[in-house]
Amino acid sequence: MHEARVSFTKWGGRPHWEYDAIRLGEDEHGTWLGAPAGTRVSRPGAEYHTPLGFTALVPRDGAFVATFYAHGATDLPAGWVEVYVDITTIPVWADATVTMVDLDLDVVRGRTGRVWIDDEDEFADHRVRFGYPADVVRLATASCERVHAAVTSRRPPYDGQVSRSWLSRLPAPPTAPLHAPPDAPRGDADRG
């Protein structure tokens, strides 16, 4: 398994979410990247470690990046999401780094099966405020419509089976030792 860097920007080159991933392989849908639970995801001013593992599909032909989450506790922030698709410019690979501009629109499928388009208001605001060119607006809206239809109808890779296959290839997250090593500091209750 090879390392890869995923780097989203916002329009105008503003930095956005970035993370390191494992290159799991390729199929007819594109390149599959994996991030085990605990992966650090960051952007200027924010960072977190993923509570659940996920895979990201960088399509062979498309203007999006689709993220598929492992099942886990639904009370976790990512636990209620099954599929999250960022509508982007066409992703570009340079060596082991893939970059794309996040164009605000997202297609989301929750664990209940409900599918919706998120951040349409942000897209409408940003296309004016940042002056998205007409061809970028057309690309984003067409991509969003295609992805929404595919996610809603559960066409592969959104059928649950394709992503499960790739999720099964994620390495297990590191586990905490059952017992503290002998030289580990002990709490006050253990002293005495």
**CATH code, domain carrying 67:** 2.40.380.10
Residue 30 lies in a domain: yes
For residue range 8-51, what is the model confidence (pLDDT) as tens digits? 999 999 999 999 999 999 999 999 999 999 999 999 999 999 88
Range of the domain at 48: 2-165
**Residues contacting 153, CB < 8 A, separation 6+:** none
Residue 170 lies in a domain: no
Task: Name the domain count of the chain.
Answer: 1
State mean pLDDT over 153-176.
Answer: 86
Give pLDDT, residue 72: 58
- Which one-letter amino acid corresponds to residue 33? L
Residue 74 lies in a domain: yes
Residue 185 lies in a domain: no
Residue 16 lies in a domain: yes
State mean pLDDT over 58-77.
Answer: 80
Residue 33 lies in a domain: yes
Q: β-strand 97-110 against 115-118: which pairing, if any?
A: antiparallel
Residue 155 lies in a domain: yes
Give pLDDT, residue 51: 84
Give pLDDT, residue 1: 62
Give pLDDT, residue 174: 58
Give pLDDT, residue 189: 37
Instruction: Give the single-character DSSP code of 76.
Output: S
State mean pLDDT over 71-94.
Answer: 79
Distance in angstroms (rounded) separating the CA atoms of residues 12 and 73: 37
Instruction: Give the single-character DSSP code of 12.
Output: G
Give pLDDT, residue 52: 85
Residue 176 lies in a domain: no
Of the candidates 56, 49, 45, the one whose C-alpha atom is nearest the C-alpha of residue 85 is 56
Q: Looking at the predicted structure, is the pLDDT value of residue 70 above 90?
A: no
